[in-house]
Amino acid sequence: MSASQPDPLPMLSSEPAPSAAPASESNPIRDAVAEAISEHRVLLFMKGSPDAPACGFSARTVAALQALDVPFAAVDVLPDPRIRQELSAISNWPTIPQLFVAGELVGGCDIVVEMYESGELAQVLQ
């Protein structure tokens, strides 16, 4: 007499993963940061605005860009801490400011000022 056993492993059946997972990971702030980086050739993420920088490092970076008379877009990271979190996750760079040119991270204040002084910044921004 053979008792037919029910499938003992119903929990391991190959059900598709809940399709809600990827959708629920949509991240509008990260998307907005990535979009800004791709849309502006020269983009500075900073604390405050170019007219009113809220941090000395941001102020020095703005000054280097302005000294070269290059138009640039700026994003103030202060209004929402998530902007900074998502930006650093994308750029793998922990501090603000961050200068992007043609979608690539050029650097923060130290690198930008160093490049300004050596003339490299002018070349990159041409």
Partner 1 sequence: MPSAEDIKQRIEAAIDGAHAEVEDYTGGGDHFRATVTAAAFEGCSRIEQHRLVYAIFGGEIGGPIHALSLKTQIPSTIETH
> What x-and-dash track marks residues 51-90 binding partner 1 by CB under 8 A?
------x--------------------------x------
Nearest distance from residue 94's CB to partner 1, in Å?
4
Q: Is 105 in the site for partner 1 (CB under 8 A)?
A: yes
Q: Is 119 in the site for partner 1 (CB under 8 A)?
A: no
Nearest distance from residue 110's CB to partner 1, in Å?
5
**Gyration radius of the chain over CA positions:** 23
Write out the residues near partner 1 by the rule CB under 8 A: 57, 84, 92-95, 105-111, 114
